[in-house]
Structure 1
């Protein structure tokens, strides 16, 4: 909003002070990202800017750390990069396997969280639902309770002999933690459900319930009403909630540390291992890729938000 011509000196001072505060907060929030991204192109194995980088010398920049994401863990990284080499990357590269695990776990946990969260939001949006506030508080509690408490509880529940399917256990032969994808997926779904509930519930606030009653008066079954009327109108909110659930799963490391076995190593877990065991600037390359993915997801959420507002007859802001 532009400063009006009739503004007095005090209003002008506040106008410029307000903008200076906003810029300062923005720089404070974005500075870590602005530092990580150029450092991922460092030609040297350092986490600081070298003299060549500061002078914009091309020799100071390299893609070696992005290349390391493909070659680390390979059985024969020096062979010609043909089909056999790429097959080796797909099967043996440590970061590639972590990325596959993150995508698999994130996809299925998003499906579970979206289905259960949408059903819960539909029930909580009905005025005749008893104890709505209490149930809502319980369902969104994973957002409030510290994640380490949730991860600890999940670990002891999954490792209990009476727990179904034996999702987490201790291998008595080697003394290491063993787990299944099912346990990790359900744990991530638990963390993603609150985001779906909040997003879908916010979308249902602007939903015209008279449309459902009109469909029922015309003989439509509840299932047909949902899939033909309700779901298309709330779909932007459902997809937005699914994206938030996916990002939550893709970024989660504490629960993975507690309940995931060696076969379920995700990208955040691999980054944790890299920082703790062998510090490598390849972590900065992964962080840069994750930032770009997050930007794409946030842009998608914004597009869906504007589409949802247009469907509800609200002017996008």
Structure 2
């Protein structure tokens, strides 16, 4: 018989979890009120409130250009890694060839390699090619290297839990492998695919080290411009830029989580 532990007896655990969450979240949350400060220097708490730094952000070409580059690269990385990652995960799940484990390990290896080593390697490869530095495609391919492992791990978990027999039934009824995959298998994995897309987008949007090595000038991403501005001149516009980056990286996961909860409730009602 299990003993019941009251909330009062767990109070220390709740306090500890709350302190840990506060420690992790507070540095990111503080930047939001700072971005609405009316003073010429970043200070917390703000002595006055204003939208001047958001106006400054949207009026300066370096910030708008960097935001546009980051969005283009993030969407490109999302599309490339999702297509390649889903196809690779499907092949590794369905295939019965001897190099499966080696290929899977190679695809997720960037997780174990320091980002600076990946960035240096990408830089030397691009320098040897002579045409990939300071290009959108160069950034997309570089960001895809660090985003791909997350797609592979997410889709591998999805493929390990889906019902493969339904695809086999579709193929036995005349559908080819591609049609069976697109119409039967892929709908079962829609949340795994959505999660993979979201992760690759966010990883690319926040990527700094590779962007520092392979881009500059008009091809600079928002994290690169933010880093350069923080290093050279502490402009309060940084707070506005950081707040916008926080919104872009926080809102989509929240929406996906709410949609998944809604779908789970709907499936529960249908099953009931």
Common fold: TM-score over 0.5:
yes
- Structure 1 CA distance, aligned partners of 2:239 and 2:226? 9
Q: What does residue range 210-225 of structure 1 map to in structure 2 within 5 Å?
A: 210-225=165-180
1:188 paired with 2:143, answer yes
- 1:164-217 Cα shifts (integer Å, max 9, x gaps): x6213xxxxxxxxxx222111111111211111111111112111111111111
Answer 1 or 2: which has greater helix percent: 2
Q: Structure 1: any 5+ residue segments left out of the alignment?
A: 54-59, 73-92, 169-178
Q: CA deviation at 1:132?
A: 3.0
- 1:309 shift after superposition: 5.7
CA shift, 1:244, in A, is 0.5
Aligned to 2:31: 36
Corresponding residue to 1:117 among 53, 76, 85: 85
What is the 5 A alignment of 1:1-317? Answer: 7=4, 14-49=9-44, 53=47, 60-72=48-60, 93-126=61-94, 128-160=96-128, 163=129, 166-168=131-133, 179-303=134-258, 305-306=260-261
CA distance in 2, matches of 1:134, 1:308: 36
For 1:302 and 1:232, the matched residues in 2 are separated by: 18
2:262 and 2:159 map into 1 onto residues whose CA distance is 14
Aligned residues: CA RMSD: 2.5
Q: Tell me, yes or no, if the aligned pair for 2:66 and 2:218 is still in contact at 8 Å.
A: no
Give the secondary-structure state (helix, strand or coil) at the position aligned to 1:140: helix
Q: Answer whether contact 1:237 1:304 (CA < 8 A) is retained.
A: no
What is the SS of the residue equivalent to 1:279? coil
Larger radius of gyration: 1
Gap regions ≥5 residues in structure 2: none
SS at match of 1:103: helix
Q: TM-score, normalised by structure 1?
A: 0.78
Query: How far apart are the structure 2 equivalents of 1:256 and 1:17?
Result: 43
TM-score of the superposition, structure 2-length normalised? 0.90
Deviation of the 1:149 alpha carbon? 0.4
Q: 1:45 Cα deviation (Å)? A: 1.9
Q: Aligned residues, how many?
A: 269
SS in 1 for 2:163: coil
Asked if structure 1 preserves the Cα contact closer than 8 Å seen for 2:89 and 2:155, the reply is yes
Of 93-102 and 145-154, deviating more is: 93-102
Tell me the secondary structure at the aligned position of residue 159 of structure 1.
Answer: helix
